[in-house]
Amino acid sequence: MALEGTLRDMSLSDLFQVFRMGPKTGTLCLACADLRAIVYVAAGELIDAAVVRFPDRTVIAAHDEAVIQMLLWDDATFVFRHDPSVLHRPVRIRHNAEHLVLESIKRRDDLRSMLPYHHVTLDTHLQLSPLASGRESSVSLSMQQWRILSQVPHHSSVRAISKATRMPSDQVIRLVLELMAIGLIEIAPALQLAKQPLHHYEMAVTETEDRAPHLAWAASIHANGQAGVHERRLPVKRSLIDAVMRRVRGL
Amino acid sequence: MQILKIVITGPYAAGKSQFIRTISDIEPVSTDYAVTLDEERALKRETTVALDFGTIAINDRLSLYLFGTPGQERFSFMWEHLAIGAIGYVVMVDSCRPAHFPETQRLIARFAEITDAPFVVAANKQDDQAALPPSYIRRRLGVPAETPVLPCVATDRASVKQVLLTLLQLIATQVQD
Ligand SMILES: Nc1nc2c(ncn2[C@@H]2O[C@H](COP(=O)(O)OP(=O)(O)OP(=O)(O)O)[C@@H](O)[C@H]2O)c(=O)[nH]1
Ligand SMILES: [Mg+2]
C-alpha cells in the first residue's frame, strides 16, 4: 500500500505539508518523462533528494537543487511509501521545505499550474490554515507576502484584500497562491445552505408489516416501492436513535 | 418491524463494501462483479454494481439497515433511490488516492441535492502509514467545519463503530422527541 497519484491530483508543495503534519517518514518517488526523482523524508523533514535521467542514469540535480527542480514540474506520477529506515540516512538537504518552495516560486511565471486544483478568483474566501499552527519552522516571507497574510483574518475575500492593500488584483492572486503553496493560508469552505426546518426533514422510519423486512425491501426495489410492502413515513424519534447508539456501542 | 436506514457512499474502491461487511450481523448481500476496464482492474478486481446491504438488529422491533452505493460514477443514477428516507450517510474516501477527490466532491454536492440528512466523511485506509490525514482531506474536499471528517479503517470493527456513532450523534442533535 502507498499514497499514489499525479502532481495534478496533489501538488508537491501539498505533499510536503502533509509530510510535516504526519510527521511522515519514507520515500517519495516521482516519474516525469525520462526523469526519475527521489526524496527521502525523515519525521516530516526532507533530508535528501536526487533527480536522475533515464536510461543512462545521469544525475541531473541533487539535494536542495533537486527538490527545487521537481517543484518546477507541472505533472509527474508519484508514490510515497512509509519506510522507517530513512530515519538512519544522512541529512543532505540544508533548507526546509517552505524555503525550497519559495525558491521554486521565484523561478516560475505561472503559479496556477503549481496548484492545479485551487481556483483562486476575486470572490474566493480565504482563511489562515489550521495545518500551519504548531510548527516550529521559520519561513522568511517577503514584505508583500506579509502584507497579504496580515489581511487574511480581517478581510476574507481576495477582492477585499486587494482593496484594503491597494494592490492590483492579479498581484494579490499571485501572492495568495504563494502563501497557499507554503501552507500558511487556504480556501475557506463554502458556507453550507441554511438547514431545513425539521418538518421538511427527509428522515423517516420505514414500517413494514412483512415478517421478513430484508426480502420485503428487495421486493420494493424491483417494484418501485409498490409491491408487498406497506410503507409509512414517521418522524424519527430521539429514543430510536438512542436505542441504535446503545446497540452500536455494544457491538 | 421498524427500519432505520443509513447509506454508505463514496467513489470507486473507497472501502464501502468492507465497511458494511465489518459491522453487519449477517453476511452482507452484495453483488460484486468482475471489473471490466483495465485501469479499474489495476485497483481492484471486483466492484459493487447494484448494492451492498447489511443489517444490525437493534431489538425485536427495530433494525438498522446499511446500504452501500455502487462506487463507479456511471451507476450514480442509483444514488437517489438509495438516499431517500435515509437518516444519515457516510461518505467514504480512500486516503491514499488524491485522484478520487474531485469525484468525491461531485458526489457530496449531488447527495446534498438529494437529501437533507446529515453526513460524516470517513477518511479510510488510515492503517497505511502513508495515508493523507483527515485534516488535509477536509481541506481538499472543502468540507464545512460542522461536518466531521473522521479517520477510518474499514477492516477494523472499533473504527467502523466510531464512524457510525459519530454519525448517529449528529443525527440525534437534529431530531425532535
Ligand atoms: N488497508 C486497507 N484496505 C482497505 C480498507 N478498506 C477497504 N480496503 C481494501 O480496499 C479495496 C476496496 O474495498 P471495497 O470495500 O471493495 O470498496 P468499495 O468502495 O465497496 O468499492 P466499489 O464497490 O467498487 O465502489 C479492497 O481490496 C479492500 O480490501 C482499509 O481500511 N484498509
Ligand atoms: Mg463495493
The domain spans of chain B are: 2-176
Strands A45-53 and A35-42, bridge-based pairing: antiparallel
CB contact under 8 A, B96 and A248: no
When pLDDT is cut at 50, 70 and 90, the band that residue B89 belongs to is: very high
Q: How confident is the model at residue B81 (pLDDT cuts 50, 70, 90)?
A: confident
Answer for the pair B70, B48: CB distance below 8 angstroms, yes or no: yes
pLDDT for position B92: 97
CATH 1.10.260, domain A110-200, yes or no: no
pLDDT for B146 beyond 80: yes
pLDDT per residue over A45-80, tens digit each?
A: 999 999 999 999 999 999 999 999 999 998 999 999
Higher pLDDT, A69 or B80: A69
Q: Is the CB of B40 under 6 A from ligand 1?
A: no
3-state secondary structure chain A: CCEEEECCCCCHHHHHHHHHHCCCCEEEEEEECCEEEEEEEECCEEEEEEEEECCCCEEEEEHHHHHHHHHCCCCCEEEEEECHHHHHCCCCCCCCHHHHHHHHHHCCCCCHHHCCCCCCCCCCEEEECHHHCCCCCCCCCCHHHHHHHHHCCCCCEHHHHHHHHCCCHHHHHHHHHHHHHCCCEEECCCCCCCCCCHHHCCCCEEECCCCCHHHHHHHHHHCCCCCCCCCCEECCCHHHHHHHHHHHHHC
CA distance A186 to B137: 13
Residue among B16, B18, B36, B107 whose CB has most ligand 1 atoms within 8 A, to mutate: B18
Give B83's pLDDT tier (boundaries 50, 70, 90).
Answer: confident
Distance CA(A210)–CA(A39), nearest Å, equals: 61
Among B59, B65, B174, the residue with its CB nearest the CB of A243 is B59
CA distance A214 to chain B (A): 9
The domain ranges of chain A are 2-102+205-248, 110-200
Instruction: Report phi then psi at B147, rounded to 5.
Output: -100, 120
Answer whether B153 contacts ligand 1 (Cβ < 6 A).
yes
Confidence of residue B140 (pLDDT cuts 50, 70, 90): very high
ipTM: 0.84
CB of residue B121 inside a 6 A radius of ligand 1: no
Contact A241 B175 (CB under 8 A): yes
The verdict on the CB of residue B9 being under 6 Å from ligand 1 is no
Architecture of domain B2-176: 3-Layer(aba) Sandwich (3.40)
Structure-block grid coordinates of residue B16: 464501502
A190 touches chain B (CB under 8 A): yes
Q: Which residues of chain A have pLDDT under 50?
A: 134, 136, 193-204, 207-234
The per-residue pLDDT for A133 is 52
